[in-house]
Amino acid sequence: MKLKVLIGKGEDGNFAVHCPSLKSCWSQGKTKEEALKNIQEAIELYLEPVVSG
CATH code (residue 26): 3.30.160.250
Q: Please check whether residue 17 is in contact with residue 26, taking contact to mean a CB–CB distance below 8 angstroms.
A: yes
Q: Indicate the SS3 state at residue 24.
A: coil
Q: Is residue 24 part of a domain?
A: yes
Q: Please check whether residue 15 is in contact with residue 31, taking contact to mean a CB–CB distance below 8 angstroms.
A: yes
| pLDDT 10s digits, 1-53 | 899 999 999 999 999 999 999 999 999 999 999 999 999 999 999 999 877 66
The residue count of the chain comes to 53
Domain hosting 28: range is 6-52
Q: What's the rounded Cα separation, in Å, for the pair 30 and 4?
A: 20
pLDDT of residue 50: 76
Q: Is residue 34 part of a domain?
A: yes
Q: Is residue 48 part of a domain?
A: yes
pLDDT of residue 1: 80
pLDDT of residue 12: 95
Q: Is residue 14 part of a domain?
A: yes
Q: Please check whether residue 42 is in contact with residue 26, taking contact to mean a CB–CB distance below 8 angstroms.
A: yes
Q: Is residue 1 part of a domain?
A: no
> How many domains, the chain?
1
Q: Is the pTM of this model over 0.75?
A: yes
